[in-house]
Structure 1
Amino acid sequence: MSQYSKVVVAIDLSEESDLVAARARAIATSAGSELHLVHVIEPLSFAYGVDIPMDFSGLQDEIQEQATGQLQRFAEKNGIAADHQHILLGRPEVEIHAVAEKISADLIVVGSHGRYGLALLMGSTANGVLHGASCDVLAVRVGS
């Protein structure tokens, strides 16, 4: 098995993020790799649709500010440098791929809830990352 030189760990800042980051950190440490941390905030308009006549910008800014603080604390706890922290706005799978491409990552680590049936058909971030990645993807089973 080849060693990985750049590892991206994508987290959602839930309690399960600790397990996902621990797996990524173990791989990065054993291979002497750079470890990058990614969190993607989905725009509220994705959840509520663009036809709702409401201005979500203030709420979106608040969400971004809170997530940035949480990500910085998480990164500090996990020893990840500020220049290896990426907080983005968009579709998670698209933004995770973009970061991986930008830094020439050779491994993406994501959490997976192991959905099946209708939940799997509806899609998941882990599934989206797996099917569009140009590098290896490790899905860490969480929440089972």
Structure 2
Amino acid sequence: MPTYKNMLVAIDLTEEAPQVLEKARAMSDAHGANLILVHVVEPVGYAYGGDIPMDLTELQDQLDKAAREQLSVYGEQYGVDKANQIVTVGRPESEIHRLVKEQAVDLVVVGSHGRKGFQLLLGSTANGVLHGSECDVLAVRIR
């Protein structure tokens, strides 16, 4: 079994995040790995398809600030250093793939809702992370 050195746990800051964090913390402790906590804020313009002719910078900044505050709470609760708490803006799959390379990550931990049909096992973000990742991916089943 490979030993992981740098684990990235990507969370969505919902009430389900602790399920993913608990599994990631246990895996990190078992492997003596460095844990990197990540949340990706999607650009506000994505939600509106870029069709709104107004400056959404202030709203984006507020979302970013709120995400940093919540990530800090989780980071403190699960013993993740401030330097390893990352909030970034973009498409979650793309940002996670970028961080995997930048941070020399060898395991990504994401939450997954057991979907049916097209997304049989993974949600769209977990599926996107899995199919473009250069390292192992652990999908934690959300209950």
Query: Which TM bucket (shorter chain)?
Result: over 0.9
Deviation of 1:54 (Å): 2.5
Pairing 1:1-144 to 2, within 5 Å after superposition:
1-117=1-117, 120=119, 124-143=124-143
The residue type equivalent to 2:53 in the other structure is: P
Q: Once the two structures are aligned, what percentage of the paired residues are identical?
A: 52
Matched to 1:33, the amino acid is A
TM-score, length-scaled by structure 2: 0.94
Measure, in 2, the Cα distance between the counterparts of 1:62 and 1:115.
Answer: 31
> Match for 1:137: what amino acid?
V
How big is the alpha-carbon RMSD for the aligned residues of Structure 1 and Structure 2?
1.3
1:102 Cα deviation after fit: 0.7
Q: Deviations over 1:83-128 (max 9, x none)?
A: 111100000011011111111111000001122225x29x610000
Distance in 2, Cα, partners of 1:61 & 1:104: 28
Quick check: 29-38 or 44-53, which moved more? 44-53
C-alpha distance in 1, partners of 2:18/2:97? 21
Structure 2 CA distance for aligned equivalents of residues 115 and 51 of structure 1: 31
Q: Structure 1 runs of 4+ off > 2 angstroms?
A: none
How far apart are 1:2 and its partner, in Å? 1.1
String of CA shifts for 1:26-62, please: whole Å, max 9, x gaps.
0110110000000000001111111222321111111
Q: CA deviation at 1:141?
A: 0.8
Secondary structure of residue in 1 paired with 2:66: helix
- After TM superposition, give the deviation of residue 19 of structure 1 in Å: 0.7
**Normalising by the residue count of structure 1, what TM-score does the alignment of the two structures yield?**
0.93
Give the number of equivalent residue pairs: 141
